[in-house]
């Protein structure tokens, strides 16, 4: 019986509330990531000897920010039509 229930949960479409919760979680992650980018910018000024590492970390954080923004935008669009 548990196997059937698990299968039903996997195949049923996510609810509006589930998608809204996912969007909110992504927005929280995005806020953290944006803050991270800002800190790397500040540290570049304070620790120029570590510029190679800091630029790499900053690039990774910016890439994550772009990814999260895309997911948020997609969820927002589908939530607006549900």
Nearest CA-CA partner of 75 in 17, 29, 36, 8:
17
**Per-residue pLDDT at 9 exceeds 70:** no
**Per-residue pLDDT at 48 exceeds 60:** yes
Close Cβ partners of 44 (under 8 Å, ≥ 6 residues apart): 51, 54, 55, 58
For the segment 2-31, the average pLDDT, to the nearest whole number, is 82
Residue 12: predicted pLDDT: 79
- What helix, strand, coil percent values describe the chain, rounded to 5? 90, 0, 10
Residue 14: predicted pLDDT: 87
**Per-residue pLDDT at 5 exceeds 70:** no
Mean of per-residue pLDDT scores for the chain: 91
Contact status, residue 6 vs residue 31, Cβ threshold 8 Å = no
**For the whole model, what pTM was predicted?**
0.80
Residue 13: predicted pLDDT: 84
Query: Is the pLDDT higher at 5 or at 69?
Result: 69
């Amino acid at each position: 019986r548990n196997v059937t229930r698990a299968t039903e949960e996997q195949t049923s479409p996510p609810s509006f509330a589930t998608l809204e919760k996912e969007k909110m979680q992504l927005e929280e992650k995005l806020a953290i990531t944006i803050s991270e980018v800002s800190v790397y910018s500040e540290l570049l000024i304070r620790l120029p000897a570590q510029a190679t590492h800091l630029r790499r970390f900053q690039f990774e954080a910016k890439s994550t920010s772009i990814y999260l923004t895309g997911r948020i935008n997609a969820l927002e669009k589908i939530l607006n039509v549900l």
